[in-house]
Amino acid sequence: MASLTRTFATLALCCLLLGSTNGQLSTNYYSYSCPNLFTTVKDVVASAIAKEARMGASLLRLFFHDCFVNGCDGSILLDDTPTFTGEKTAKPNNNSVRGFEVVDQIKSAVEKACPGVVSCADILAIAARDSVVILKGPTWDVKLGRRDSKTASLQNANNDIPPPTSSLSNLTSKYAAKGLSAKDMVALSGAHTIGQARCTNFRDHIYNDTNIEASFARSSLQSVCPKLTGSGDNNLAPLDTHTPTTFDNYYFKNLISKRGLLHSDQELFNGGSTDSQVKSYSSSSTAFFADFTSAMIKMGDISPLTGSNGEIRKNCRKIN
């Protein structure tokens, strides 16, 4: 019996090693090395969201901005130093991405439970899933085994993360460059069912675009976002005007009633090839949830560092 157990353990270890040298991620990656990982992460995420519901949105977005820049490798978490330029001041990130203190809290809880084992890149993947679940969205099995980068790229962050001024074809091509389809793109955009955006990112849409419901633009948005550039640039409005802290399909219902907040949001329902998919999600949260979860898993697969590449950072903000 003992030898059987040992054989089994050796076999499991062998598959684990094989998996990591193959560059494959797996859902049970830490089941021996950090058995309490999932509850450890979820507890910290849950208490952060209990304090501020928006934090769930911020953590979900961090994973997106990590994965789109050189793959899901924790690069977005690295702080700038006098001799190192990270991604935090890139245009889509500066004064915008948040949640780094919560990631620090998760990392220190995880280091306490299993020192030196779990990457920051994997912590982002788990925290994104937990955030969606806690805000009443769908769940999925998170693939793990990513390692952390020793580099970051300000330039790739500026080039690869789509800006809110994007057209439908701009969006499609930025996702295609990451191996994601237009269908994945629409499903993933449903993440904008939670969280907030700054005036500077929706000003043009509410003053200059015509594909926005007039009273929504005027009474809800122009009152928080002054016309003049430089005034109220950081004022916030919810991406989903209806249920900003619940992960549901109202984002898509809003698009159909021309209540998208960003120019890029409304591009998904503007008489083009993605209209039918938006319609389908607006009438079926089941369809949205199924496609969202599979697209999240695909996004999480973007060029991970595995094997002997990268490292397991001790502190998510700096290279060891």
Ligand X SMILES: *[C@@H]1O[C@H](CO)[C@@H](O)[C@H](O)[C@H]1NC(C)=O
Numbered residues of the known binding site for Ca(2+): 66, 69, 71, 73, 75, 87, 193, 240, 243, 248
Would you count residue 162 as binding ligand HEM (CB under 6 A)? yes
- Residues near 265 by beta carbon (within 8 Å), at least 6 away in sequence: 164, 189, 192, 239, 251, 255
Q: How far is the CB of 56 from ligand X (least distance, A)?
A: 24
Would you count residue 170 as binding ligand X (CB under 6 A)? yes
Q: How far is the CB of 83 from ligand HEM (least distance, A)?
A: 28
Q: How far is the CB of 212 from ligand X (least distance, A)?
A: 12
Distance CA 25, CA 46 (A): 25
Structure tokens at 134: 């806690």
- Catalytic residue numbers? 65
- Find the binder of ligand HEM among 201, 243, 249, 266 (CB under 6 A): 201
Number of CB atoms found within 10 A of residue 177's CB:
11
Distance CA 62, CA 97 (A): 7
Structure tokens at 243: 């249920």
Q: How far is the CB of 167 from ligand X (least distance, A)?
A: 5
- Find the binder of ligand HEM among 74, 86, 137, 164 (CB under 6 A): 164
Would you count residue 262 as binding ligand HEM (CB under 6 A)? yes
Would you count residue 189 as binding ligand HEM (CB under 6 A)? yes
208 binds, among ligand X, ligand HEM, none (CB under 5 to 8 A by kind): ligand X
- Find the binder of ligand X among 6, 51, 218, 227 (CB under 6 A): 227
Residue closer to ligand HEM, measured from CB, 206 or 312: 206
Distance CA 48, CA 52 (A): 6
DSSP H helical ranges for the chain = 2-21, 37-51, 54-67, 100-113, 120-134, 154-160, 168-176, 182-189, 199-208, 214-215, 250-256, 263-267, 275-283, 285-300
Span 226-245, contacts to ligand HEM by CB under 6 A: 239
The answer to whether 266 and 255 are in contact (CB under 8 A) is yes
Q: How far is the CB of 173 from ligand X (least distance, A)?
A: 7
> Do the strands 196-198 and 236-238 form a parallel or antiparallel pair, or are they unpaired?
antiparallel
Residue closer to ligand HEM, measured from CB, 60 or 302: 60
Q: Which residues of 205-225 are buried (b: 16+ CB within 10 A; e: fewer)?
A: bbeebeebeeebbeebbeeeb
Distance CA 254, CA 277 (A): 14
- Find the binder of ligand X among 42, 143, 146, 203 (CB under 6 A): 203
Would you count residue 94 as binding ligand X (CB under 6 A)? yes
Q: How far is the CB of 161 from ligand X (least distance, A)?
A: 11
Phi, psi of 199 (to 5 degrees): -45, -45
> If DSSP states are collapsed to H, E and C, what string results for 66-130?
HHCCCCCCCHHHCCCECCECCCCCCCCCCCCCCCHHHHHHHHHHHHHHCCCCCCHHHHHHHHHHH
| Binding piece for ligand HEM, criterion CB under 6 A, among 52-60, 214-222, 249-257, 278-286 | 52-60
Side chain identity at residue 7, one-letter code: T
Would you count residue 187 as binding ligand HEM (CB under 6 A)? no
Would you count residue 107 as binding ligand X (CB under 6 A)? no
Residue closer to ligand X, measured from CB, 194 or 221: 221
The answer to whether 264 and 172 are in contact (CB under 8 A) is no
Q: Which residues would be at the binding site for ligand HEM (CB under 6 A)? A: 54, 57-58, 60-61, 64, 96, 98, 162, 164, 166, 171, 185, 188-189, 191-192, 194-198, 201, 239, 262, 264
Q: Which residues would be at the binding site for ligand X (CB under 6 A)? A: 89, 94-95, 163, 165-167, 170, 203-204, 207-208, 227
